[in-house]
A and B are shown apart, each in its own frame.
Chain A
Amino acid sequence: MKNTGVSIPTVNRRAAATGFLETLFDVFRVRPSFAVGYAIVFLSIAVAILAPWLAPYDPIQTNGSMALRPPSAEHWFGTDAVGMDIFSRTLYAPRVDITIALFGTTISALIGSLLGAWVGYFSNTRSLNSKIGFVVMRIADVMQSFPVFVFAIALVASLGQSMSSVVAAIAFVNTPIYLRLMRSQVVVIRERLFVQAAIVAGISELKIIIRHILPNAMGPIMAQFSVNIAWSILLTAGLSFIGAGVRPPTPELGSMIAGGFQNIVTGQWWPSVIPGSVLAVIVSGFTLVGASIETLTNKDKMKKLSLDIAMHKRGER
């Protein structure tokens, strides 16, 4: 090959990086709630990792003489009924909640979307696979018409009370959501030309599903994923609150709220209101990140976002 004199443009990495940052800045300026969401998520994950270095006290160290002290310079968030430092416990607690939610949701997303892709690909094809898919969907119907909370509690009780049981329960109740979402995506994508072309080219079904269909169906799954983590954190805390999840003294937000439940009527609000507020902040952080991902994967919302950025820039000039 002769040199034709056309120079191949190389990516200017620094320009790309600053360009990315500028775009990010623009987006955050018109959608400040997204910035708040990412800040909360990063902060809570950082705190969860760094808890042992940040916490002033041992989170499970009881101290009878210091029980139910209100917030002070010594104990920023006060102490609970057995004298444990609420600030230290609150720093440790997201470890448990976020880890459980993350594992549970990831497992359900993997199983649910793979199964959903398979069921969607073969639906209405008059094959044996299609009939199996029909059965799978009816099982999902049954699972979803179960009262979620009672189902989760029964699962945890049946598997034995432990962190891995809570993870399993969350994975179980979430799987049908991804199954349905992926199926509805794949049924549409299956009819598109590039899939038809792949079929004509004689590519195996498994390869078509994994290489050609899944990447095009990932958008809504990703948006659902972050929102789902938020919901799973709530479920984890709810299970522990009712005594069917993580057991005290392990620092966990739901069981901390439950622990302070009796004191609230007599006016000691800090043992349950503070962990509850932290829980609400973390959950809303993941919800906001979910909203931002949904915007990225939704054509209409993306259009509106770029329009808002353009309007904003014009307003500046």
Chain B
Amino acid sequence: MSSIRSFLLNRLVFVIPQLFGILMIAFFLVKTIPGDPAVLMLGPNATDASVAALRTKLGLDQSVVQQFWIFVTNLAKGDLGTSWQTTRPVLEDLFQRFPATLELVTFGLLSAILIGIPMGLASALKLGIWGKISNTYGLIVGALPDFWLGLVMIFVFYTLLQWAPAPFGRIDMIVIPPATVTGSMVLDSLIAGNWEALVSALQHLLLPALTLGIVASGPIQRMTQSMVESTLDAGFSRYQVISGLPTQMVVKNALKNALPSIITIISVLYGYLLGGAVLVETVFSWGGAGQYAVQGVLNSDVFPVLGFVLFASIFSLLVYFIVDVLYFLIDPRAGS
């Protein structure tokens, strides 16, 4: 057990400088975007004097390095700054929006796993026509633009068939949303026992989550296929076959050996989708954190971008951390 502890400690030592580096790059990058927040906040009719006064108030008249220092000291006090677009503290905005993104990405990834792993197994085991279908599926699906797939979904299931609700937001306007506990509409409605809200939330979640799920199932399918194929080719699998073990057991053992790689690709996808889901968020007017950050970039609103980058990085690091722990649990060799 000492090996796992030293490994985790080693990991933690790198986390803080890494987060600092991420914030630093993000800060200087966003600061180089042309456009003066003070001018944008006050509108085109502002006088030069009022703009200058606001610049002083926001600390914009100081050097970028000083501004970064102010940001970091405020961050240490738990203040992520204020967005000039929503005129609210970024931390509050993110507490509202990040769970929305997380809900979308988590459900998307779950459906990707449910689609990807069985299909990967089907093509690795060459299950006749299913194997061929999964093969083609894996190659094509990864090439689909997710934002376009979302549009096609809306066209088919909303415009044509009228099965899905209008692609605006996370719940019907007329339905009273449940009290916020976890930030996930689905979980909150469950906790509140509000069935009407639950149904509406699930209906709204279905298309965007499926869009992400279909696109993300491609890499999972391919990884499952190639890993199971190569473990089935390995000596120990052949030995099991020669020894007369039932095929099911051989496949089960192969899958267990392929699992670390599959978990890795899932964790990478999780981190990627947090930021990558922004296009799907836009298509479905999801109101998530990615959308918030992109609006920030496009309107030189610095703090939402930094807040999102911070949240997303911490979350990705957390996921990678959990994956490392999972490795230890799955594969005893990982500790040595």
- Set of chain A residues within 8 Å of B17, measured between Cβ atoms: 138
Q: Which residue of B lies closest to A281 (CB)?
A: B143
B155→A273 contact, CB < 8 A: yes
Residues B152 and A273 in contact, CB atoms below 8 Å apart: yes
Residue of B nearest to A287 (CB): B143
Q: Report B170 CB to chain A, min CB distance, Å.
A: 18
How many residues from B make CB contacts under 8 Å with A?
Answer: 54
- Interface status of A241 (Cβ within 8 A of chain B): yes
| Contact, CB under 8 Å: A157 / B298 | yes
Give the interface size class of chain A.
35 or more
Instruction: With both chains docked as a complex, state the minimum distance between the C-beta of B14 and any C-beta of chain A, in angstroms.
Output: 8
Q: Which residues of B contact A142 (CB under 8 A)?
A: 18, 21-22, 25
With a CB–CB cut-off of 8 A, which chain A residues contact B32? 158
Q: Is A145 an interface residue (CB 8 A)?
A: yes
Give which listed residue, B29, B143, B151, B159, contacts A154 with CB less than 8 A.
Answer: B29
Report Cα–Cα, A243/B18, bound state, in Å.
30
Residue of A141, A142, A150, A154 with most chain B CB atoms under a 10 A cut-off = A150
Q: How far, in angstroms, from A265 to B32 measured CA to CA in the complex?
A: 38
| Complex-state Cα separation, A138 to B24, whole angstroms | 14
| CB of A296 within 8 Å of the partner chain | no
Q: Which of A143, A264, A276, A287 contacts B145 (CB 8 A)?
A: A276
Distance in angstroms between the alpha carbons of A149 and B274 in the assembled complex? 10
Q: Is the CB of A261 within 8 A of B139?
A: no
In contact, B313 and A146 (Cβ under 8 angstroms): yes
Given contacts A265-B154, A287-B143, contact A238 B297 (CB under 8 A): no
| Residues B34 and A160 in contact, CB atoms below 8 Å apart | yes
Is the CB of B120 closer than 8 A to any CB of chain A?
no
Per the bound structure, the CA–CA distance linking A238 and B215 in Å amounts to 14
Q: How far, in whole Å, are A158 and B31 apart by their CA atoms in the complex?
A: 8
Contact A257 B297 (CB under 8 A): no
Contact assessment for B148 and A264 in the assembled complex, using a CB-CB cutoff below 8 Å:
no
What is the bound-complex CA distance between A293 and B109, given in angstroms?
Answer: 29
Residue of B nearest to A149 (CB): B275
Kindly identify which residue among A33, A267, A284 contacts B159, using a CB–CB cutoff of 8 Å. Answer: A267
Asked if A91 lies at the interface with its beta carbon under 8 angstroms from chain B, I say: no
Residues in chain B near residue A139, CB distance under 8 A? 21
Closest to A277 in B: B148
| Across-interface contacts of B25 in A (CB, < 8 A) | 142-143, 146
B39 within 8 Å of A (CB atoms): no
Which B residues from 291 to 336 make CB contacts under 8 A with A? 293-294, 297-298, 300, 305, 308-309, 312-313, 316-317
Contact in complex: B275, A265 (CB < 8 Å): no
Q: Which residue of A lies closest to B277 (CB)?
A: A149
Q: A149 and B290 in contact (CB under 8 A), knowing A264-B159, A273-B152, A273-B155?
A: yes
B residues in contact with A148, CB < 8 Å:
272, 275-276
Instruction: Give the distance to chain B from A78, nearest Cβ to Cβ, in Å.
Output: 14
0/1 string, A299-313, CB within 8 A of B gives 1: 010000000000000
Cβ–Cβ < 8 Å partners of A276 in chain B: 145, 148, 151-152
Pair B159/A153 contact, Cβ less than 8 Å = no
Q: Which of A264, A291, A300 has the most CB of B within 10 A?
A: A264
Interface string of B136-180 (1 = CB under 8 A from A): 100110111101100110110011100000110000000000000
Out of A150, A157, A300, name the residue touching B309 (CB < 8 Å): A150
Minimum C-beta distance from A286 to chain B (A): 8
Interchain CB contact under 8 A, B139 and A33: yes
Residues of B within 8 A of A157 (CB): 33, 297-298, 300
B202 close to A (CB within 8 Å):
no
Is B199 interfacial (CB-CB < 8 Å)?
no
- Bound Cα distance A265, B166 (Å): 9
B230 touches A241 (CB 8 A): no
If A33-B136, A257-B148 touch, whether A269 touches B155 (CB-CB below 8 Å) is yes
One digit per residue, 1 when the CB lies within 8 angstroms of any chain A CB and 0 when it does not, for chain B 251-290 equals 0000000000000000000011011101100110000001
A257, B151: Cβ atoms under 8 Å? yes
Cα-based distance from A18 to B145 in the complex (angstroms): 39
Interface residues of B in 93-147 (CB under 8 A from A): 136, 139-140, 142-145, 147
| Interface presence of B26 (CB below 8 A) | yes
Q: Which residues does chain B contribute within 8 Å of A242, judged by CB atoms? A: 278-279, 282, 294
B30 on the A face (CB < 8 A): yes
Q: Tell me the smallest distance from the CB of A102 to a CB of chain B, in Å.
A: 17
Whether A154 and B139, one on each chain, are in contact in the complex, defined by CB atoms closer than 8 angstroms, is no
Task: Check A86 for interface membership: any CB of B closer than 8 A.
Answer: no
Contact with B along A222-264 (1 / 0, CB 8 A): 0000000010001001100111100000000010010001001
New A-B contacts (8) at CB < 8 Å, excluding given A238-B145, A269-B155 = A142-B18, A147-B309, A147-B312, A147-B313, A154-B30, A257-B148, A266-B159, A283-B143
Could you list which residues of chain A lie within 8 angstroms of chain B, going by C-beta atoms? 33, 138-139, 141-143, 145-151, 153-155, 157-158, 160, 230, 234, 237-238, 241-244, 254, 257, 261, 264-267, 269, 272-273, 276, 279-280, 283-284, 287-288, 291, 300
Pairs across A and B, CB under 8 Å, 15 listed:
A142-B25, A146-B25, A147-B290, A147-B312, A148-B276, A149-B278, A149-B290, A154-B305, A238-B147, A264-B151, A280-B140, A280-B143, A280-B148, A283-B145, A300-B230
Closest 6 CB pairs of A and B: A147-B275, A276-B148, A284-B143, A283-B143, A142-B21, A158-B32
